[in-house]
Amino acid sequence: MSKIGKLPVKYDIPVQVSEEHSVVSVTGPKGNLKFQLPKEIKVAIGNGQIIVSRKDDSDRSKAMHGLSRTLIFNMIEGVTKGFEKTLELSGVGFRASVVGSQLTLIVGYSHPVEIEAPEGIGFKVAENKITVSGFDKALVGEIASKIRKVRPAEPYKAKGIKYEGEIIRRKAGKAGKAAA
């Protein structure tokens, strides 16, 4: 049995969880999320916890067991605490600003790059850091990835956009001038 899948998912009072026609709905203070259960998985909701189990021992149901439990856990954590990813902006003249729900990046192109925040996502900019926050973990990661793809950090001077804590492997520049 899956080590992660057999653990119960516990939740508190402000969170409401329901399951109807193989769709798990989680409602909390930050928002509402839904998840379509795979046909091999079933859930039991009660007493402030959710128990995820599989219907048989096929390879697919074993694979979906831990995944489904983790996705439900992330939904509960998202509607209570929320998620955020931080990106760092480095380079001469590189700037970011937020106007309403729109992030504007000036990262060395001939034009500013504008990214509109989907519903449930918020942007914050402080100094050279961009914070993407929201209650859906997958959507937060997707938007952060989209921002990073605008100008990924290059390996020579590490100029560009990178995740906070990401290590950029640096390359040596041209060595021909140093030897001559």
Question: What are the extents of the domains in the chain?
Answer: 9-80, 83-163
CA distances from 94 to 35, 89, 115, 127, 156 (A): 39, 7, 16, 11, 17
Task: Give the model's pLDDT for residue 99.
Answer: 94
Task: Give the model's pLDDT for residue 177.
Answer: 57
Please check whether residue 2 is in contact with residue 60, taking contact to mean a CB–CB distance below 8 angstroms: no
Q: What is the pTM of this model?
A: 0.88
Task: Give the model's pLDDT for residue 173.
Answer: 82
Task: Give the model's pLDDT for residue 172.
Answer: 87
Task: Give the model's pLDDT for residue 94.
Answer: 95
Task: Give the model's pLDDT for residue 25.
Answer: 95
Report the topology of domain 9-80: Outer Surface Protein A; domain 3 (3.90.930)
- Note the Cα 156 to chain centre separation in Å: 28
Residue written as tokens 């996502």? 121
Of all residues in the chain, what percent are helix, strand and coil, respectively (each to 5)? 20, 40, 40
Q: Could you tell me which CATH number the domain at 83-163 has?
A: 3.90.930.12
Residue written as tokens 């969880």? 17
Which stretches of the chain score pLDDT less than 50? none
CA distances from 107 to 32, 53, 66, 124, 160 (A): 35, 48, 40, 17, 7
Task: Give the model's pLDDT for residue 100.
Answer: 92
Rg (CA), the chain: 22
Task: Give the model's pLDDT for residue 175.
Answer: 74
Rounded to whole angstroms, the Cα distance separating 159 from 148 reads 12
Q: Do domains 9-80 and 83-163 have the same CATH topology?
A: yes
